[in-house]
A = this chain, B = another copy of it.
């Protein structure tokens, strides 16, 4: 009984808070899912929710549906009325909205929220990592990219996708691993532990590696990246050269971010803890642990974007 009364009391406070325009929703939209985070005016967490994919580049309508679905689910989880959807001040980070066409189409959306502030996925990741303060991030996962947020301005560095860019990324390391393994098979390049490692992981030998990776995309190449780091740690000269080359690029990327005026950097992505030790000391000295994830960054976007009901 007390629990029920408590819930009603809490719900009552929230309903009135919402009427004051003080319900904020952060949305971290990605290609596999859409995470939402509902907070009150003090930033206290009310509910989290997960809905389907929200990739505005690949499927604009689907992304909109997932965003609304995640918002409705967050309200329901918090015990709030679905009618409060129109009171939500939303900050959302979506991959692809750096592309003018995608951003333009999203701006046309007659969304059901009180306000929608839209940024890229990497922007909210940067806000989350530095608690909304100025800072820079380097994402080293399947791909690689740098981002700085300073003086209210966000800037992207590097990236451009595999195989033309994304140096130092998992896909980039993995392709180099396969190339080196094949050179070793043909005895047209130096012997390397990478050959045994790649053969073991792919379950084939010699030129069977070619068939095994025929038509492979960045994700499959990225799956070979840990082997490069393991072989480099074991002292294999070919692997060391690859990792150093990638880490040197990420070091240059980090220096660019620092030159853009950020006080500190964070490394994100699955490769981050493994490749960071290979980067130069001057940039490692400026690294801090990320404070929170992109969904928290999206909330910061929602809360810092002012009371205007217009979209960013």
Taking Cβ atoms with an 8 Å cutoff, the residues of A that contact B are 157-158, 160-161, 163-165, 167, 175, 178-179, 182-183, 186-189, 207, 210, 213-214, 249, 252-253, 256
Cβ contacts A to B, 5 pairs, < 8 Å: A160-B210, A161-B214, A188-B252, A188-B256, A189-B252
The answer to whether B188 touches A160 (Cβ under 8 A) is: no
Residues of B within 8 Å of A163, CB to CB, are: 163, 175, 179
| Chain B residue nearest in CB terms to A253 | B188
**Bound Cα distance A165, B167 (Å):** 18
Q: Smallest Cβ distance from A37 to chain B, in angstroms?
A: 32
Residues of B within 8 Å of A178, CB to CB, are: 164
Most chain-B Cβ atoms within 10 A of its Cβ — which of A163, A189, A214, A253? A163
The answer to whether B253 touches A158 (Cβ under 8 A) is: no
The answer to whether B252 touches A164 (Cβ under 8 A) is: no
Q: Smallest Cβ distance from A123 to chain B, in angstroms?
A: 18
Known A163-B175, A165-B179; judge A157-B188 contact (CB<8 A).
Answer: yes
The answer to whether A158 touches B256 (Cβ under 8 A) is: no
Q: Smallest Cβ distance from A122 to chain B, in angstroms?
A: 15
Q: Smallest Cβ distance from A163 to chain B, in angstroms?
A: 6
**Bound Cα distance A253, B188 (Å):** 7
Residues of B within 8 Å of A214, CB to CB, are: 161
Most chain-B Cβ atoms within 10 A of its Cβ — which of A183, A188, A210? A188
| Chain B residue nearest in CB terms to A259 | B187
The answer to whether A179 touches B157 (Cβ under 8 A) is: no
Q: Smallest Cβ distance from A184 to chain B, in angstroms?
A: 12
The answer to whether A186 touches B158 (Cβ under 8 A) is: yes
Q: Smallest Cβ distance from A224 to chain B, in angstroms?
A: 11
Q: Smallest Cβ distance from A41 to chain B, in angstroms?
A: 40
Q: Smallest Cβ distance from A101 to chain B, in angstroms?
A: 11
Q: Smallest Cβ distance from A309 to chain B, in angstroms?
A: 33
| Chain B residue nearest in CB terms to A99 | B211
Most chain-B Cβ atoms within 10 A of its Cβ — which of A160, A189, A207, A210? A160
Most chain-B Cβ atoms within 10 A of its Cβ — which of A163, A164, A207? A164
